[in-house]
Structure 1
Amino acid sequence: MKQMEVTIMGQSYLLGCPEGGEAALAAAVAHVDREMSAIRDAGKVKARERIAVLAALNLAYQLAGAPRETPAPEADVDDALIKRLDEALGHDGQLL
């Protein structure tokens, strides 16, 4: 595992990073830094630990509210699944 030095709100951190994950980690660090800096700049919270917790909660809330991307099932896939279930259940347990 590779190590990357990053800066969040002026503080340096040494983080482990899987090979090839540098860009994703840098984007995540930038996102966290923006969120924490916005909370700090609002002026209501001064403690770094409290800012970090609030930023984590804000980011988790954003992720929880994000729409999930699930592909719509294809009709032929549904039909094939129903057919397989019907075959497995036999005539007494047919779904349709």
Structure 2
Amino acid sequence: MKQMEVTIMGQSYLLGCPEGGEAALSAAVAQVDREMSAIRDAGKVKARERIAVLAALNLAYQLAEAPRVAVPAPAPAEPMSTPEIDALVKRLDEALEHDGQLL
């Protein structure tokens, strides 16, 4: 794991970062810094901890409201039917007869 020094609202932090994740971490830091700075600059909240909590809530809300990217469902598989499977289904149906058919 690599370590990166970042700055959020003028304060430095040393963060762990997986190899190859530097760009994503830098983008996340920039987003958090923008959100926290906007809250601070609005002038209503002064405590750094409260600013951090409000920024986290704002970012979480934005993430929850973002449109979900639809992932196409895989094509349905062809139903398997072999003599062995058919015999097994028949045995299961017989064993579960009082509850109804399995398939």
- By the TM > 0.5 criterion, same fold? yes
Residues 1:30 and 2:30 are matched in the alignment: yes
Q: Which residue of 2 aligns with 1:19?
A: 19
Q: Which moved more, 1:48-57 or 1:14-23?
A: 14-23
For structure 1, list consecutive stretches of 5 or more residues without a partner in the other structure. Answer: none
Matched residue count: 87
* Residue 66 (str. 1) matches residue 66 (str. 2): yes
Percent identity over paired residues: 76
Equivalent residue, structure 2, for 1:49: 49
Aligned to 2:6: 6
Q: SS of the counterpart of 1:4?
A: strand
Length-normalised TM-score, structure 2: 0.74
CA-atom RMSD in angstroms: 2.0
Distance (whole Å) between structure 1 residues aligned to residue 25 and residue 71 of structure 2: 27
Runs (5+) with no aligned partner, structure 2 = 91-100
| Structure 1 residues 2-35: Cα deviation after superposition (integer angstroms, max 9, x where no partner) | 1111000000111111111111110000000000
Structure-1 separation of matches of 2:5 and 2:71: 37
Q: Report the equivalent of 2:95.
A: none
AA aligned to 2:16 is G
* Superposed displacement of residue 58, structure 1: 0.4
